[in-house]
Amino acid sequence: MDLNMNVNPPHSMGTTIIGVTYNGGVVLGADSRTSTGMYVANRASDKITQLTDNVYVCRSGSAADSQIVSDYVRYFLHQHTIQLGQPATVKVAANLIRLLSYNNKNMLQTGLIVGGWDKYEGGKIYGIPLGGTLIEQPFAIGGSGSSYLYGFFDQAWKEGMTKDEAEQLVVKAVSLAIARDGASGGVVRTVIINSEGVTRNFYPGDKLPLWHEELEPQNSLLDMLNVPSPEPMNI
Amino acid sequence: MNFMASKQPENSLLGPEADSQRTLYPYVTGTSVVALKYKDGILMAADMGGSYGSTLRYKSVERMKPIGKHSLLGASGEISDFQEILRYLDELILYDNMWDDGNSLGPKEVHNYLTRVMYNRRNKFNPLWNSLVLGGVKNGQKYLGTVSMIGVNFEDNHVATGFGNHLARPILREEWHQNLSFEDGVRLLEKCMRVLLYRDRSAVNKLQIAKITEEGVTISQPYSLKTYWDFSAFANPAQGAVGSW
């Protein structure tokens, strides 16, 4: 126990967030852990937030900052859609996020990944890290858990994946980050956006693959002790 | 002629302390240890994680070790300091065995020794960055105590370190009672460890449960706990309030 324990740390989404394009749309993914210092305040949060029917954003960093930015952008996009007379494009949504992030860079601490589908450009992913840089990418990773995924994506990412390949890649990646990042955890949520619409999926912690040094979960040690095979109790 | 830079820190205002070091912060750390007294002795649980800051770097660290014939030591905090403590205790047990007088150090004595070590280090501003749980049985007497890095020590029917104090102790205060059976004790510890797994960022899903009785120490093989996510509220939490968490 640290003598200088942070007694009033802000709510932060340590987080792992991912956005990936595929041939027909995008897949967004995120973990579900929100922490206050070392305590997990919410183990089932939803970090993939809707901006419009066809554009969603993955939030990381300060929970408060990312919520307020997405709330403002949802509001502006709503007005913009009415004026325009048709669904807003992903680029416009991303730019609005950028304006807020850039012009308030000294006060905000949030990294965002905007993903969606529109009829002009198809599926698009925009990364907007701290500082408010806007960068269009075939895939984007963010949050503290993303540190563990750079090597993984360098190796595993391919152009022109199918919808299922893309979603599997995202689930695998978030699950790998959860295994090593203390600030990420819980369930994996994905949102798939394409011309047909939006699909939300939910992969609970016990349905994720097991990685190195992780073991198959048991109900209790007692169940293991009552099985006559290999000796579970050893000195 | 001075080819090599002096190893002394520049700040010679430190005077006599100039060439000593102190532990400033931990590097590889273990999280909570939880323990309780039950009918036949002590049950103790700890996960096998060694965190490096926020990275869950090592996942097979044994944080509970038998000490002599009658004691079990569990540690949270800096792993290298725990390993140093084990070396001190090896020496202590060795000297005790060398007396060859049929007597052996019981858990109370080991706890007292550890308390002195931790407190004296604290007084020199060079703490061993650990919170320790010491449990054991000798001559039918059950003993369960704890020592912190600043030398705070006490014994109780159930103890915990770190987050365990905030999350496990309240559960134990409600549900612990005298003469718990082994099964009930294990279930109670698993309940505590599951809550810690949900709510402690540095928890890892791989744990061991150890028991110590008059017969001796047994530490289980590593295993993982099932976790529960199948609540309708978890599937779509932002349904009624878009943009919330």
Q: Rounded to an integer, what distance in angstroms lies between the CA atom of residue B219 and that of residue A11?
A: 38
- Interface test with chain B among A46, A67, A147, by most B beta carbons within 10 Å: A46
- The CA R_g of chain A, rounded to the nearest whole Å, is 20
Residues of B in contact with A144 (CB under 8 A): 54
A53 contacts on B by Cβ (under 8 Å) = none
Helix-, strand-, coil-residue percentages of chain B, each rounded to 5: 35, 30, 40
pLDDT below 50 — which residues of chain B?
A: 1-12
Return the SS3 of B167: helix
- Do the chains contact at A233 and B220, CB–CB below 8 Å? yes
Q: What backbone torsions phi and psi does residue B151 show, to the nearest 5 degrees?
A: 95, 5
In a domain, B151, yes or no: yes
pLDDT for residue B2: 43
In B, minimum Cα distance to A211 occurs at B59
Q: How many residues does chain B have?
A: 245
Give just the sign of the alpha carbon dihedral B36, B37, B39, B45.
positive
What confidence score (pLDDT) does residue A181 get? 94
Q: Which residues contact B64 (CB under 8 A, 6 or more apart)?
A: B33, B44, B46, B72, B73, B74, B75, B208, B210, B219
pLDDT in tens, A95-125: 999 999 999 988 999 999 999 999 999 999 9
- Annotation says B161 is catalytic: no
For residue B229, tell me if it sits in a domain: no
Read off the pLDDT of residues A165-203 as tens digits, 9 standing for 90 and up: 999 999 999 999 999 999 999 999 999 999 999 999 999
Any B CB within 8 A of A215 CB: yes
pLDDT in tens, B34-52: 999 999 999 999 999 999 8
* Active-site position among A15, A34, A49, A52: A15
Residues of A in contact with B231 (CB under 8 A): 44
**Biggest CA pair distance of chain B:** 76
Predicted pLDDT of residue A226: 79
Residue A40 has its nearest CB partner, among B198, B244, B245, at B198
Residues counted in chain A: 235
Q: Does A77 touch chain B (CB under 8 A)?
A: no
Which pairs count as long-range contacts for A164-169, CB under 8 Å and 24+ apart, including other chains? A165/A22, A166/A20, A166/A21, A166/A22, A166/A27, A167/A27, A167/A29, A167/A192, A167/A201, A169/A20, A169/A27
Beta strand A233-234 with B216-220 is: antiparallel
Model pLDDT, residue A206: 84
Q: Which of B152, B201, B219 has the most A C-beta neighbours within 10 Å, making it the best mutation to test the interface with A?
A: B201
Residue in A with minimal Cα distance to B191: A220
Containing B217, the helix (H) or strand (E) segment is strand B216-220
Helix boundaries (H) for B155-216: 163-175, 182-199
Residue A38 CB: number of other CB atoms within 10 A? 20
Kindly state whether residue B88 falls inside one of the protein's structural domains. Answer: yes
Partners of A42 on chain B (C-beta within 8 Å) are 245
Asked if B199 and A204 come within 8 Å (Cβ–Cβ), the reply is: no
In chain A, what is the straight-line distance between the N-terminal and C-terminal CA atoms, in Å?
29
Give the pLDDT of residue A235.
58
Q: How many domains does chain B have?
A: 1
The residue from B23, B161, B213, B218 that is catalytic is B23
On whether any CB of chain B is under 8 Å from the CB of A50, the answer is yes
Q: Which amino acid is at A184?
A: S
What's the CA gap between B149 and B85, in Å, rounded? 12
CB–CB contact A220 B54 (8 Å): no
pLDDT, tens only, A54-105: 999 999 999 999 999 999 999 999 999 999 999 999 999 999 999 999 999 8
Q: Judge: A35–B201 Cβ closer than 8 Å, yes or no.
A: yes
- Sorting pLDDT into bands at 50, 70 and 90, what band is A31? very high
Chain A closest-CA separation from residue B146 CA (Å) = 14
Does residue B12 fall inside a structural domain? no
Domains of chain A: 17-226 (3.60.20.10)
Higher-pLDDT residue of B141 and A13 is B141
Domain CATH code at residue B154 = 3.60.20.10
What does the alpha-carbon distance between residue A181 and residue B51 come to, in Å, rounded to a whole number?
A: 10
- Using a pLDDT cut of 90, give the percent of chain A over it: 83
Where residue A230 falls among pLDDT bands split at 50, 70, 90? low
pLDDT of residue A220: 95
Q: Is B114 part of a structural domain of the chain?
A: yes
* A120 part of contact set with chain B, CB < 8 Å: no
The answer to whether residues A101 and A112 touch, using CB atoms and an 8 Å cutoff, is yes
CA A27 – CA A194 distance, rounded (Å): 9
Report CB contact under 8 Å: B26, A205: no
CB contacts, 8 Å: B66 with chain A: 235
Q: How would residue A37 be classed by pLDDT, with cut points 50, 70 and 90?
A: confident
One-letter-per-residue 3-state SS of B28-67 = EEECCEEEEEECCEEEEEEECCEEECCEEEECCCCCEEEE
C-alpha–C-alpha distance, residues B89 and A155, integer Å: 47
Residue type for position A110:
T
Secondary structure of residue A134 in the 3-state scheme? coil
Comparing CB atoms, the residue among B54, B60, B198 nearest residue A182 is B54
The owner of tokens 């090593």 is A180
pTM metric for this prediction: 0.84
pLDDT of residue A233: 64
Q: Which helix (H) or strand (E) holds B208?
A: strand B207-213
Instruction: Say whether pLDDT at A3 is over 70.
Output: no
CB of A144 within 8 Å of a chain B CB? The answer is: yes
Chain B's closest residue to A224, CA to CA, is B223
Q: Which domain holds residue B150?
A: 25-224
